[in-house]
Structure 1
């Protein structure tokens, strides 16, 4: 069974959004040392149920938070998604040192990500 392991918050103004989430929920933000402008979000104690996430500048047309589901094989799940009536919006691409990611939607148009973890991804 695949689980939601991460969420992404798009923002037109990440500094303003970070201030909001810090003040309202006490979340902690750390700049990611990767190939894109991205902040990791710690939402609480790792011993408690819940997930952490991230924040990036909004891409054109992006609305709302995106949940990311960990899968064992990107190719296998892309096939399952399209066979089930879903769509792939952003084909598989590597996130260096993290894994491979694709952005998809379900039959109602809800956007979600899938990720196959792989620390050797380049």
Structure 2
């Protein structure tokens, strides 16, 4: 995967089981629990290819949302660039314990999106 490309999507909800039923029934997606420290479920499309997204239990920490994520070379540098262009960093995590740096950002109009970098 190359940098600066949308490579992941994510659905956040405080009812992950209900979201699985909804999206699974609607699109034929399947879900597998990730091994990480949070309730995160990898989403595989009806074609059965590699996971292309994730569903996570926000536990009320974020409003429910579906958002795209862009792979970047450097999360901290990209966050600084977002702010210099009039956007806002909502949350930045460097080293989530599973080898990924990520951030949730808002563009100048307030739209939420994410960035990430997998180390190693």
TM-score range, shorter chain: 0.7 to 0.9
Residue 9 of structure 2 corresponds to: 7
What is the number of equivalent residue pairs in this alignment?
A: 116
TM-score, normalised on structure 2? 0.85
TM-score, normalised on structure 1? 0.84
User: Which structure 2 segments of 5+ residues have no match?
Assistant: none
Moved over 4 A (4+): none
- Pick the aligned partner of 2:36 from 30, 34, 44: 34
- Are 2:52 and 1:52 equivalent residues in the alignment? yes
Task: Please list the CA deviations of residues 33-90 of structure 1 after superposition, one character each: whole Å capped at 9, or x if unmatched.
Answer: 111111000123449xxx7111112333423212111100112211110010000011
Residue 102 of structure 1 corresponds to: 103
- The 3 A distance-change label for structure 1 pair 23 and 68 is same
User: Which structure 1 segments of 5+ residues have no match?
Assistant: none
Contact residue 41 and residue 55 of structure 2 kept, 8 A = yes
Residues of 1 paired with 2:35 and 2:48: CA distance? 22
Residue 85 of structure 2 corresponds to: 84
